[in-house]
Amino acid sequence: MSAHSEQRGSGKSEPIRKPWIWIGMLAIILVGIPWYLPPGMIEPIVFGLPLWTYIAVGSSVALCGYLTWILSRHWNLVEDEEESASTTPGDADGGR
Amino acid sequence: MEDQDLTFGGAPGIIVLVAYAAVMLGIGFFVGRNRPGARRDMKSYYLAGGNLGMLVLFFTLYATQYSGNTVVGYAPQAYREGFAWWQSVTFFTAIIGGYMLFAPRLYVLAKKHSFITPTDWVRHRFKSTAVTLLATFLMLWALANYLLEQLIAMGHAISGLTGDTVPYQIGVAVFVLVMLAYSWMGGMRAVALTDVMQGIALLLGVVVLLVGAFYLVGGSLGDTTQYLIDNEPEAIAVPPLEDSVSWFSMILLVGIGIAMYPHAIQRIYSARSERTLKRSLKRMVWMPLITAGVVFCVGMLGIRLFPGLSEDDSERLVGMIANRVGSINVVFYVAMILLFGGVVAAIVSTADSALLSFSSIVSKDVYARYLRPKASEERQVAVGKIVGIVAVFGLLLLAWNPPGTLVDIFVLKMELLVQLAPVFVLGMYWKRLAAGPVFWGMAAGAGLAGWLTLTGEESVYGVHGGIVGLILNLAICVLGSLVVRPRATEPAEETGAEPTTAA
């Protein structure tokens, strides 16, 4: 966490320097794998599907959201310099 | 050959394939005419001038990562493994996590030092001929195998789509020529622009396939799962512990391994800006749900539609479902033909990226580095193109005449590529990491992973050979570097470990 606040101060950040990001990612992935449940378990069924499958799907969706958040908030090395240097913002290839 | 066995193939299939081929050639011609410089210098040809915008970068990442194999091969996997194959969605998502280990800094360094190939980083960081050559060898080997796999898949998809009216070899040869032509004319920019078309075709195709399959089973999720519970309970039950270990190991192997593919790394170099790269990756994060996730659902529905298929028969699952879906009505019929065209296009889009990357490594890291150091960039590009063509035709011969027992050697891809992770990740952040241990770690890791795969021991207690090799590799890198005395004259700037803040 100290590295986190340090980098916020300088305006630069990259995910690898923040161990908590990787611990969080590992936790989300591990929750999605049913290693902690008895093999062969199907019940309980919720809305037609075994509960454990919701956990696996939920973990995948959570991982997508988590990575999006990391990409948005915790990766900024040269973006500010590049964008201020660029006189024509936006992407000519049709991208925004 | 008759992998898909589509009764609706034939003439409409040929028309769709010709149309796709014409669009690809048109894009290559358009890029070549509007940007003649794209063929002359290395950065323009291999990296589209390092100026790809968000939308094109996103589609080229997408079409390169998801091949036609993702559809044709992964649905049968879900059919056989049941719900545990949901791991395919997570491992594709984990690739973005793999990128985040090194891409932010590699992007900055690539722009600063004008990197063209992944090997440029290896040379820049370690200044060791042995490490550079070994990394180059592993990359070329994996790319060639990957390309070979795409060529074989392309043949199966074409013969399936056309109901074998187009002989397998001729179909592949025509598409390879189309691919070579547009790559030759427009380089990376043409490859990336064709990826937009190819990516859209694949995406739409799998979604329509799911809608059709869902329609066929009566549209009720509850009924389908009840059927599975009654008839195939193991498909929907919690898997054994070893399978769960394998699930986790697969996420690590694919998440790190695919991020190490040379063409994946070159897409980091090609981004116009950090913002562009981030925005493309933010969209990529969600694609596993609507690609691998959809294919997974199709495979699960297949258990109900075609119960009790043998392993070999299940390989034809997508063709069988497409056949059934295509017979619902004319709209689905057209959509299924477009899907199979999309599968072929997606295979081509993956093959072209691998080929371009292969050519770039040959022209820059082999030809210009060791054979003709004074060659002009135009000549380097030309040599890369020609070697690429020779390699493709060599691989085609292999695809058509697999060399018996040797064929196992050609399965090695990700197991070898994942061994590059310490070079890229550890090398970027740990100044003390030394060339000697990196070389021996990479060699030992690749050797162990290769040996495990070739002897049929694909996993140890569920952990894949590639990951077992990586653990050995990392141990040698770390312990060896701690033992080796660090060179005093190695400034942080030159190792690439350029701290923006104190580490």
Per-residue pLDDT tens for B24-73? 888 888 887 777 666 677 778 777 777 788 888 898 888 888 887 788 88
Nearest CB among A16, A78, A82 relative to B101 is that of A16
C-beta atoms of B226 and A48 within 8 A: yes
pLDDT at B406 over 70: no
Compute the CA torsion angle B52, B148, B86, A65 (nearest 10 deg).
-10
C-beta atoms of A40 and B238 within 8 A: yes
Lowest mean pLDDT across B108-117, B207-216, B439-448? B207-216
Q: What is the pLDDT of residues B195-206, one digit of tens each?
A: 888 888 888 888
Under a CB-based contact definition with an 8 Å cutoff, are residues B63 and B399 in contact? no
Is residue A69 included in any domain, yes or no?
A: yes
The DSSP letter of residue A76 is B
Reading the block at residue B183, the tokens are: 């790559």
Q: Which residues of A touch B425 (CB under 8 A)?
A: 16
Mean pLDDT in chain B? 83
- Number of domains observed in the structure of chain A: 1
Q: Which ipTM score applies to this complex? A: 0.85
Is residue A70 included in any domain, yes or no?
A: yes
Under a CB-based contact definition with an 8 Å cutoff, are residues B177 and B265 in contact? no
CA distance B497 to B482: 17
Q: Which residue of A has its CA nearest to B227?
A: A48
Mean pLDDT in chain A? 80
Which pLDDT score is estimated for B248?
A: 92
The correct answer on CATH 1.20.1730.10 for the domain covering B11-31+49-398 is yes
Q: Is A85 exposed, middle or buried (0-12, 13-18, 19+ CB in 10 A)?
A: exposed
- Quick check: B248 contacting A, CB < 8 Å? yes
Tell me the mean pLDDT in the region B276-281.
93
Chain A residues 8-67 within an 8 A CB cutoff of chain B: 10, 12, 14-17, 25, 29-30, 32-35, 37-42, 45, 47-50, 52-53, 56-57, 59-61, 63-64, 67
pLDDT at B290 over 50: yes
C-beta atoms of A92 and B86 within 8 A: no
C-beta atoms of B245 and A3 within 8 A: no
Read out DSSP for B210-239?
Answer: HHHHHHHTTS-HHHHHHHHHHH-GGGTSPP
Tell me the mean pLDDT in the region A69-96.
71
Lowest mean pLDDT across A8-12, A24-28, B208-212, B426-430? A8-12
Which pLDDT score is estimated for A33?
A: 93
Is residue A86 included in any domain, yes or no?
A: no
pTM of the model: 0.86
pLDDT at B326 over 70: yes
Tell me the mean pLDDT in the region B267-274.
90
Which pLDDT score is estimated for B410?
A: 57
Which pLDDT score is estimated for B408?
A: 56
Which pLDDT score is estimated for B6?
A: 53
Read out DSSP for B187-199?
Answer: HHHHHHHHHHHHH
Tell me the mean pLDDT in the region B174-191.
85
Q: Which residue of A has its CA nearest to B88?
A: A60
Confidence of residue B404 (pLDDT cuts 50, 70, 90): low
pLDDT at A89 over 80: no
What stretches of chain A show up as alpha helix (H) in DSSP? 2-10, 19-32, 51-73, 79-85
Q: Which residue of B has its CA nearest to A52?
A: B238
Confidence of residue A10 (pLDDT cuts 50, 70, 90): low
Higher pLDDT, B99 or B303: B99
- CA B439 to chain A, closest CA, distance in angstroms equals 24
Buried b (16+ CB within 10 A) or exposed e, B407-428: eeebebbbbbbbbbbbbbbbbb
Is residue A90 included in any domain, yes or no?
A: no
Q: Which residues of B touch A6 (CB under 8 A)?
A: 501-502
Where are the domains positioned within chain B? 11-31+49-398, 409-503
For A46, list phi and psi in degrees, rounded to 5. Answer: -125, 125
* Strands B463-464 vs B459-460: parallel, antiparallel or unpaired: antiparallel
Confidence of residue B488 (pLDDT cuts 50, 70, 90): low
- CA A49 to chain B, closest CA, distance in angstroms equals 6
Lowest mean pLDDT across A64-68, B129-133, B302-306, B472-476? B302-306
- Residue B5's nearest CA partner among B179, B157, B151, B160 is B160
pLDDT at B496 over 60: no
pLDDT at B470 over 70: yes
pLDDT at A47 over 70: yes
Angle at B365 between CA B364 and CA B367, to 5 degrees: 70
Q: What is the pLDDT of residues B74-125, one digit of tens each?
A: 888 888 888 889 999 999 999 999 999 999 999 999 989 989 889 999 999 9
CA distance B432 to B479: 11
Is residue A91 included in any domain, yes or no?
A: no
Read out DSSP for B417-472?
Answer: HGGGHIIIIIHHH-TT--HHHHHHHHHHHHHHHHHHHHTT--EETTEEHHHHHHHH
Which pLDDT score is estimated for B477?
A: 93
Which pLDDT score is estimated for B8?
A: 57
- CA B282 to chain A, closest CA, distance in angstroms equals 5
Which pLDDT score is estimated for B498?
A: 47
Is residue A66 included in any domain, yes or no?
A: yes
Tell me the mean pLDDT in the region B287-300.
90
Higher pLDDT, B51 or A25: A25
What is the residue range of A46's domain? 2-77
Which pLDDT score is estimated for B90?
A: 94
- CA B248 to chain A, closest CA, distance in angstroms equals 7
Q: What is the pLDDT of residues B124-179, one digit of tens each?
A: 998 888 999 999 999 988 888 888 888 888 877 777 666 667 777 788 888 888 88
Higher pLDDT, B156 or B423: B423
pLDDT at A6 over 70: no
Q: How many other C-beta atoms are found inside a 10 Å radius of the C-beta of residue B115?
A: 24
Which pLDDT score is estimated for B42?
A: 79
- CA A93 to chain B, closest CA, distance in angstroms equals 5
pLDDT at B407 over 60: no
Nearest CB among B234, B244, B500 relative to A35 is that of B244
